[in-house]
Chain A
Amino acid sequence: MNDLVEVRPGVYRDSVTLMRVSRALTAMPGVAVAVVAMATELNLGLARDLGFAVPPATPGDLLVAVRADSPAELEDAAAELERQLAARAPASGTRGDAPPRTTRSAARAFEASLALVSVPGEHAFAEALDAVEAGLSVMIFSDNMPVEQEILLKDRARARGVLVMGPDCGTAVVGGAGLGFANVLRPGPVGVVAASGTGAQQVTSLLDLAGVGVSHVLGVGGRDLSAEVGGRSAVQALRALDEDPATELIVLVSKPPAPEVARAVRDLDLATPVVAALLGPGQDDLTTAAEKVLRALGRDVPEWPSWPAPPASAGRRDAAVLRGLYAGGTLCAEAALVAGTGEFTDFGDDAYTRGRAHPMIDPALRLEALRGVASGVVLMDVVLGHGADPDPSSWLAPAIRDAVAGGVDVVVAVVGTDGDPQGLRAQAARLNEAGAAVFTSNAAAARHARLLAGG
C-alpha cells in the first residue's frame, strides 16, 4: 500500500473546500482514496476505518490521508494536493488590500445589508455578534450553536432593529438574493418565514412550479419556535414582512411551535394573511400547505410533476423494508410522517455534519448508505438550487442503477425549480432513467414509497 498520512497543525480550510480537494485527488488515476479534512474525531475515525495509520491531531489541524496504487501515483497525488491547497488558499494581501479577518472588519470596509455566517458552529457566535453590533441582519447557516448564544444574539438584534436568521438556517431569499441553499424563485407576492430550511424550499419550489413567486424568504432557525427561544426571530420576521408592501400573503413554515409561542404568534395581529405550514402529526403535509397558499391567492393547483419508474422495477408484491436516506431534515420528518413506516436517517443532522460538509454538498455518507442497501425500498431527497451539489445525478444515478439492478426500489423527491442551475427536469430525467421513481412533491414520493413497501 502506498499511503501518505500527514497532520498539518493550524492549517485551516472550510469543509466544503476540503471536500472538493478530496474529490479532485480521488479522481486522479491510481488514487484509491483521499481524505483531506480538518482532523475532527469524525474525520479521524473515517481515516482509521479506511486503514490509515493516523497520528494524534486536534480539530484545528488539517488531516491528509491519501492511498495510491504506486509510489509514482502517490507522488503525483501529493503534488496535486499542494496545487489544490495553494489554489484554495485565502487571498493574501501584502499590498495593503488584505482581506478582512473578521466580520467586524469587513463591515467597516464594505457597506453591506447583511452577513452570511457559515463558520463551524462553535465559532459562529463571534461573527454573528460582529454583524449585529455593526447594525446588520445576519443569516447563520452554521449549526451546533449553543441555545443561550442564539437567545443573546436575537435579543441584541431586536434591540438594534436587525434580524438573526438561524442558527442552522439553511435557506433564505432576501431582495432576490438566494442565501445558503436557495432555489431560484421568481419574484412574487408570497413572503415566507421559515424555521425549517428544506421545508421552505419544498413549499416555495412547488409555488414556483405553479407560477407563484416570493417577496422574501426569511429563515429563523430550527429552534426559533421552541419554548426556549420563544419565536424571537419569527415574531420579528412576521412583523417585517407585514410592513413590506411587496408581500401580500405570509407562509409560516415550521414544526408545530411550543403552545405559548404559537399563542404569541397568533396574537401578533398582522394586516397580512398568514398561512401556517406546521409539519407534524395531524397537520397538513407541505404539499397540501402549498396548495392552500395557491387557493388563498385564487390560483389553480396544478398536477405536481412526477416521473414514474420504468415498469421493470415497479410492482413489488411482498412487504419490504422502507429506508429513508435524507439530506433535508424537514423533508425527512415529513416523509416519515407520511409513510408511517420505515427507518429514516437525516444525514443533515448535527451528528453527521460536525467537521464535514452538509449532505446537500457532500454526498459521501448518503452514497455509502445507499450502496449498503440490498433489498426493499429506498426513499431519498435531492435538493437543487444555489449552494447545493452542482450535479447530484452524476453520482446518484449510477448508484441508483446498481441498486435497482440489485432488486431495490428507489424513490426520489427532487426539490427544485426550472430556474435552478442544475435544471430540475434534466436532473429528474436522469434519475428516472437510472430506474428511480421521481416526484417534485416529497409527500407524494413518500406515499409512493409506502405503496411499494406494501405498507
Chain B
Amino acid sequence: MTLSMLYGEPRVITVGAQVLGEALDRQAVPRREVDWRPPLRGASAALARVLADPRRESANATAVGRMLSARPMLTGVRPAREVLGLGAGEFFHAGPPITWERASGPMRGALAGAMLFEGLAATPEEAEDRLASGAGITLDSCHHHRTVGPMAGVVSPSMWMLEVADAEHGGTAYCSLNEGLGKVLRYGAYGPEVIERLRWMGEVLGPVLAAALARCGPLDLRTLIAQALQMGDELHNRNRAATSLLVREIAPAVVEAAPQHAAEVLRFINGNDHFFLNAGMAAAKVSADAARGVPGSSLVVAMARNGTDFGIQVSGLGDRWFTGPAGVPDGLYLGGYGPDDANPDIGDSTITETAGLGGFAMAAAPAIVRFVGGEVSDAVAATTSMYEITMAEHPAYQIPGLGFRGTPAGIDVALVARTGLLPVVNTGIAGRIAGTGQVGAGLVSPPAEAFTAALDALGEA
C-alpha cells in the first residue's frame, strides 16, 4: 500500500500534551493544535460505544443529508381541526409532554386562554379548574403531530395553521400563525384583547392568507430563508427581513384574493417583525423530520421546551425524549421586568437551532448581538463554536460575514458530549406568572444531561 504521509512535507494535528506539540514547533513542523478538554462528566463509556458503532458514520451522513436537502414550501393555511384532527378539549403544546400539574405559569396561561378562545370556559378561573380536573381535556406535545409552536406553543382546534411541505422528501409540518409581541397567548397571556385577536386571526387572517396562497402558489421557504440570512436575520430572534420578503411575495395575491381585508391583513403582518418566525419554524420542522428514524444516527432532530423541561429527540432513537430542567434565559428585559419575572425556557422555536438557524446563525445578525453579550465578535464566536458540535455546513443557508460559509447544521449528540459545548439558543423570555406575556429576549443553554442521557441510550441501541 502507498502511505501518503511518507511522501511530502509532514503537517501534524496535535491533541493532548503540549510538550509534544512544542517539540514539533522546535523542528519547524507545521501543525494545528486542538484545544482539547475532557468530555462531559460520565460520558466516556457511552461515547466509546457510540463512536465504535459501525453504522454511525453512514447513518449520520444519511440523516444530516436528508435534513440539509429538504425543500420546505409554504403550501397553505388551514384550520387545526381540519389538518391535525384536533377535537374539542384537545390541545397541543410546546416541548416534551407535560401534565397540568407540572406546567409553568405561561403554559397554564396559554392553555387557559385556548379554553376561553374555544368557548370551553367563560372565565380564566373556570378554564384553570377544568384543566386541573382534566375532565374532557387531552394534552399532547406538538412534536408528536408534525407540529411546532413558539413559546407555550398551544394549538387548539380553531386555530389556523401554516402548512409547509418538503418538496424533496414529501413530509409536511405545521405551525400556528404568529400573534405579534407583548400580551399574546404564546407568552401565557389570556386577556380579552388576546382572545379577540385570536378570533380575528381565525376569521380573517387565516382564510385570507389561505386564499392568497392559493392564488400565488407555494412559497419556497428555503430560498426565502437563505435571502433573509443575507439581510441580517438569524430567523429566531430576528425575522424582520424574512417577514418583509414574505409580504413582498404575497401582498399582490392578498389584495386580489380579499380586497376588503387586504389592508388590515397586510398592516397586521407589517406590524409584527416576527410574523415569519412560525413559517421558518415549520420549515425547520419539516427539514428535521426528514432526518428522523435513521438507525445508529446521533443527529439531534428536535430540541424543545415546555417551560419546565428541555427535551431533545435523536434520529437513531425514535420518538423518545431526553430531558433536563429548562434553564432561565440570560438576556434583555422589557420595561420594568427583570430576571425575577422570567419563566424557565419555553417553546418549540429551538427547532430553528436544530436546523442550523437561530443562535447557530447568530453571526448573520449583527443587529441583535446585544442578546449575546454586546459585540459583533460575540455573535461570530457563537456561530463559530457551533461548527464544533455540528455534522455539516448548510449548503443553502449562508453567512455573508463569514465568507458565505454555510451555517453550522446538524447537532451531533456525540460531539456535544465530547466538547462540552452546548447548543447556543436564542429565545424570547416569557413572564413567570400566567397572564403576563413576554418580558424579554436573550440566550439560553440547554441542560447537558439531556445530551448525555441520549448518548447513553444510543450506546445501548
Across chains A and B, which 9 residue pairs bring their CB atoms closest together, nearest first?
A118-B16, A240-B3, A386-B23, A110-B32, A177-B10, A99-B35, A96-B380, A115-B13, A90-B35
> Is B267 engaged at the interface, CB distance under 8 Å to the other chain?
no
Query: Is the pair B16, A99 in contact by a Cβ cutoff of 8 Å?
Result: no
Residue interface bits A84-103, CB-to-B below 8 A is 1, else 0? 00001011011110111111
Smallest Cβ-Cβ distance to B415: which chain A residue:
A102
Q: Name the distance in Å between B296's Cβ and chain A's nearest Cβ.
A: 15
Query: Is the pair B384, A96 in contact by a Cβ cutoff of 8 Å?
Result: yes
> Is B78 engaged at the interface, CB distance under 8 Å to the other chain?
no
Query: Is the pair A136, B23 in contact by a Cβ cutoff of 8 Å?
Result: no
- Please give, as numbers and ranges, the residues of chain A lying within 8 Å of B36 by CB-CB distance: 101-102, 119, 123, 127
Query: Is the pair B47, A126 in contact by a Cβ cutoff of 8 Å?
Result: yes
Smallest Cβ-Cβ distance to B19: which chain A residue:
A16
Query: Is the pair B10, A94 in contact by a Cβ cutoff of 8 Å?
Result: no
Residues of B with Cβ closer than 8 Å to A? 1-21, 23-24, 26-27, 29, 31-39, 41, 44, 47-48, 51-52, 57, 363, 377-378, 380-381, 384-385, 387-388, 402, 414-415, 418-419, 421
Give Cα distance in the complex from A17 to B48, angstroms: 26
Smallest Cβ-Cβ distance to A129: which chain B residue:
B51
- Please give, as numbers and ranges, the residues of chain A lying within 8 Å of B44 by CB-CB distance: 122-123
A-B contact pairs, 17 of them (CB 8 A): A88-B18, A98-B35, A99-B35, A103-B13, A112-B32, A114-B13, A115-B12, A116-B16, A118-B15, A142-B16, A174-B10, A175-B6, A178-B23, A236-B1, A240-B3, A386-B26, A387-B20
Query: Is the pair A100, B34 in contact by a Cβ cutoff of 8 Å?
Result: yes
Q: Name the distance in Å between B458's Cβ and chain A's nearest Cβ.
A: 14
Query: Is the pair B37, A113 in contact by a Cβ cutoff of 8 Å?
Result: no
Give Cα distance in the complex from A113 to B7, angstroms: 9
Give Cα distance in the complex from A114 to B10, angstroms: 7
- Please give, as numbers and ranges, the residues of chain B lying within 8 Å of A49 by CB-CB distance: none
Give Cα distance in the complex from A14 to B14, angstroms: 13
Give Cα distance in the complex from A347 to B297, angstroms: 42
Query: Is the pair B15, A113 in contact by a Cβ cutoff of 8 Å?
Result: no
Residues of A with Cβ closer than 8 Å to B? 10, 12, 14-17, 58, 60, 88, 90-91, 93-96, 98-107, 109-120, 122-123, 125-127, 129, 131, 133, 136-137, 141-142, 146, 148-149, 152, 161-163, 174-180, 182, 216, 236-237, 239-241, 243-244, 357, 361, 386-387, 421
Query: Is the pair A95, B20 in contact by a Cβ cutoff of 8 Å?
Result: no
Smallest Cβ-Cβ distance to A60: which chain B residue:
B38
Query: Is the pair B16, A119 in contact by a Cβ cutoff of 8 Å?
Result: yes
Query: Is the pair B419, A102 in contact by a Cβ cutoff of 8 Å?
Result: yes
Give Cα distance in the complex from A279 to B449, angstroms: 49
Smallest Cβ-Cβ distance to B21: which chain A residue:
A116
Q: Which of A58, A101, A175, A361 is within 8 Å of B9, CB to CB?
A: A175
Query: Is the pair B20, A118 in contact by a Cβ cutoff of 8 Å?
Result: yes
Q: Name the distance in Å between A92's Cβ and chain B's nearest Cβ.
A: 8
Give Cα distance in the complex from A99 to B378, angstroms: 15
Give Cα distance in the complex from A438 to B368, angstroms: 69
Q: Name the distance in Å between A121's Cβ and chain B's nearest Cβ.
A: 10
Smallest Cβ-Cβ distance to A127: which chain B residue:
B15
Query: Is the pair B13, A177 in contact by a Cβ cutoff of 8 Å?
Result: no
Query: Is the pair B35, A161 in contact by a Cβ cutoff of 8 Å?
Result: no
- Please give, as numbers and ranges, the residues of chain A lying within 8 Å of B39 by CB-CB distance: 123, 126
Query: Is the pair B13, A240 in contact by a Cβ cutoff of 8 Å?
Result: no
Smallest Cβ-Cβ distance to B28: which chain A residue:
A177
Asked if A126 meets B418 with Cβ closer than 8 Å, knowing A179-B24, A386-B27, the reply is yes
Asked if A387 meets B5 with Cβ closer than 8 Å, knowing A99-B34, A101-B421, A106-B34, the reply is no
Give Cα distance in the complex from A264 to B44, angstroms: 35
Give Cα distance in the complex from A237 to B2, angstroms: 10
Query: Is the pair A179, B12 in contact by a Cβ cutoff of 8 Å?
Result: yes
Q: Which of A17, A93, A421 is within 8 Å of B17, CB to CB?
A: A17
Query: Is the pair B4, A113 in contact by a Cβ cutoff of 8 Å?
Result: yes
Query: Is the pair A116, B48 in contact by a Cβ cutoff of 8 Å?
Result: no
Q: Which of A133, A136, A178, A180 is within 8 Å of B57, CB to CB?
A: A133
Query: Is the pair B384, A115 in contact by a Cβ cutoff of 8 Å?
Result: no
Smallest Cβ-Cβ distance to B391: which chain A residue:
A104
Q: Which of B1, B19, B23 is within 8 Å of A182, CB to CB?
A: B23
Question: Which of B15, B37, B38, B48 has the most chain A CB atoms closer than 10 A to its own CB?
Answer: B15
- Please give, as numbers and ranges, the residues of chain B lying within 8 Å of A122 by CB-CB distance: 44, 48
Query: Is the pair B3, A137 in contact by a Cβ cutoff of 8 Å?
Result: yes
Give Cα distance in the complex from A112 to B9, angstroms: 9
Query: Is the pair A93, B18 in contact by a Cβ cutoff of 8 Å?
Result: no
Smallest Cβ-Cβ distance to A38: which chain B residue:
B38
Query: Is the pair A14, B16 in contact by a Cβ cutoff of 8 Å?
Result: yes
Q: Which of B1, B12, B32, B381 is within 8 Å of A98, CB to CB?
A: B381
Asked if A107 meets B2 with Cβ closer than 8 Å, knowing A95-B380, A386-B26, the reply is no
Query: Is the pair A421, B38 in contact by a Cβ cutoff of 8 Å?
Result: no
Smallest Cβ-Cβ distance to A110: which chain B residue:
B32
Query: Is the pair B380, A116 in contact by a Cβ cutoff of 8 Å?
Result: no
- Please give, as numbers and ranges, the residues of chain A lying within 8 Å of B47 by CB-CB distance: 126
Give Cα distance in the complex from A176 to B363, angstroms: 42
Give Cα distance in the complex from A179 to B44, angstroms: 27
Query: Is the pair B16, A141 in contact by a Cβ cutoff of 8 Å?
Result: yes
Q: Name the distance in Å between A124's Cβ and chain B's nearest Cβ.
A: 8
Q: Which of A14, A17, A103, A105 is within 8 Å of B387, CB to CB?
A: A105
Query: Is the pair A106, B15 in contact by a Cβ cutoff of 8 Å?
Result: yes
Smallest Cβ-Cβ distance to B380: which chain A residue:
A96
Query: Is the pair A161, B2 in contact by a Cβ cutoff of 8 Å?
Result: yes
Query: Is the pair A115, B15 in contact by a Cβ cutoff of 8 Å?
Result: yes
Question: Which of B32, B384, B418 has the most chain A CB atoms closer than 10 A to its own CB?
Answer: B32
Give Cα distance in the complex from A178 to B23, angstroms: 8
Q: Name the distance in Å between A89's Cβ and chain B's nearest Cβ.
A: 10
Query: Is the pair A96, B377 in contact by a Cβ cutoff of 8 Å?
Result: yes
- Please give, as numbers and ranges, the residues of chain A lying within 8 Å of B20 by CB-CB distance: 116, 118, 141, 179-180, 387
